[in-house]
Amino acid sequence: MARRLAGLFVALVLAGPATARAQSAADLLARGIRATHDLEFDSAAVWLRRAMSRPAPAALSDADRSRAMMYLGATEFFRDRRDSATAVFRRLIVADPRFRPDLLVFPPEVTTLFNEARLGTRAAAAAVPARTDIAGPGDRLVIRLYGSSIHDVTAVVSRYFGGTAGVAVRTLYSGALGDSLEVLWDGRDSSGIPADSGNYILRVASLGQDRRVVRTVEIPLAISSIRRDTVPWPLPPADSLLRPERTTGGGGTRSLVMGLVTAGAAIALPAMVAPDASASAGRYLVAGTATVAGIIGMLRARSPRPIPENVAANQQLRATWQRQADQVRADNEARRREARVTIVASPARVVESR
C-alpha cells in the first residue's frame, strides 16, 4: 500500500510540469481573448503576455502572435494606458505590416488608435515564392510588397558574400508604396546578363521623410544559373588560301643593258661616221639620258607591283571570314543572355535601422 501511495505521489509530481506544459501558447492566447471579452483586462494582459513569451517550439504562430498583440493593445487601451497601447500597436505593425484589425471584433476607438499608429509607422512586408524557375522570356520572379502606410521604398538585389551583402546587382524598384505593389525580376543584372550562380539577397528598405532607411526586410536568394555553351571563334583564312597580291620583283637587267647600249651608241656613232668631228655635248647628254632611263627601267622592273585579280580574291575571302566572325559574335552574345535561372528564397527577416 505504501509503495502504491509513493508511486501515486511521484506521478502527481511529474504530472504537474506536464500539465503546465500542456497549457500551450494557444491555450494561453484563448484565455487572454476570453478575459478581454469578459472585460477582465488586467487578467487578459497577463495571459496574453504569457502566450507571447512561450519559446519555440511551443511559441505562437505568426498569425496568432499578431492576434495576441492586437488584443494586448486593446486591453492596454481599456486600462487607460494609451501610450502603452500605441507602442504595442507599433510593434505589431513593424512585425506584420499587412495586419488589419477585425472591425466586427474591436470597437471604433481601438481601431482608430491602431490606424493612427499604422499611419505613423513606415514598414513594408515582402513575399516571394519559395522557388521560381526562369526559363523563357516571359518568366519572372514575382515579389509582392505590402505597406503599413504610404511611404517610399527601394527594392534592391545584391550579391551576398560570407554574411555581407556586396555590390548591388539590380535595383528593382524605387518609389512610393501604398497598400500593395507587385515587382518583377527576370533574374538579370542591370546590363541584361543573367545573374551568376551564387547567394544573393533581396532588400526592401522603408525610407523616412529624410530619406533615411528606417526598416529593412531581407530575403536571402540562392540562384542557380545554367547558360548555353558558346560557339567557337572561326579561324582566319590560312596563308595557303591567300593568293600573292604583288609581283615578286626581279629582272630589269635588260632595261639597264639597253640604256647602256644606247648611251654607248650615242657617243660612239658620231665618231665612227665622222672621225674628225669632235664630240659634242649633245651626244653626251643623249648618252646620259639613255643611261638614266635604263636605270629607271631596271628599278621599276625590280619593284613589286599589285596583282588586281589576286587582291580582289583575297578581299572576298577575308570578307567571308569577317561575316562568319560577326555572326558567331552575335550568336555568342545571344547565348550569354540566354540562361535557365532557378531562384530559391529563404524566409524573410526584419532589420530595424532606427
pLDDT beyond 70 at 137: yes
Higher pLDDT, residue 256 or 98:
98
Mean pLDDT of 252-257: 57
Q: What pLDDT digit, counting tens, does each position of 203-239 carry?
A: 999 999 898 999 999 999 999 988 666 678 788 888 7
Amino acid identity at 42: D
pLDDT score of 258: 63
Mean pLDDT of 280-305: 61
- Tell me how far CA of residue 117 lies from CA of 48, 69, 111, in angstroms: 20, 13, 10
Mean pLDDT of 314-332: 82
pLDDT score of 317: 81
pLDDT score of 100: 94
* Nearest alpha-carbon partner for 217 in 291, 166, 145, 137: 145
pLDDT score of 56: 81
pLDDT score of 7: 46
Calculate what percentage of the chain has a pLDDT beyond 90.
50
- H helices of the chain, in order, are 2-22, 25-37, 41-53, 62-78, 82-95, 108-119, 253-273, 281-302, 308-336
Model confidence at 1, in pLDDT bands (50, 70, 90)?
very low
Max Cα distance, the chain (Å): 175
CATH 1.25.40.10 placement within the chain: 21-119
pLDDT score of 266: 55
pTM tops 0.75, yes or no: no
> Is 201:137 a contact under the CB 8 Å cutoff?
no
CATH class in words for 124-228+339-352: mainly beta
Q: How many residues does the chain have?
A: 354
Per-residue burial over 285-317, b if 16 or more Cβ lie within 10 Å, else e, is ebbeebbebbeebbeebeeeeeeeeeeeebeeb
> Is 332:230 a contact under the CB 8 Å cutoff?
yes
Q: What pLDDT digit, counting tens, does each position of 109-124 carry?
A: 999 999 999 999 999 9
Q: CA 296, CA 260: separation in Å to the nearest integer?
A: 12
When the pLDDT of each residue in the chain is averaged and rounded to a whole number, the result is 81
220 DSSP β-pair partners: 201
Q: CA 50, CA 59: separation in Å to the nearest integer?
A: 10
pLDDT beyond 70 at 303: no
Mean pLDDT of 32-40: 96
Q: For the chain, how are helix, strand and coil distributed in percent, rounded to 5?
A: 45, 25, 30
pLDDT beyond 50 at 255: yes
pLDDT score of 10: 39
Calculate what percentage of the chain has a pLDDT beyond 70.
73
What number of helices (H) and strands (E) belong to the chain? 9, 10
CATH 2.60.40.4070 placement within the chain: 124-228+339-352
> Is 231:332 a contact under the CB 8 Å cutoff?
yes
| Region 21-119: CATH code | 1.25.40.10
pLDDT beyond 70 at 175: yes
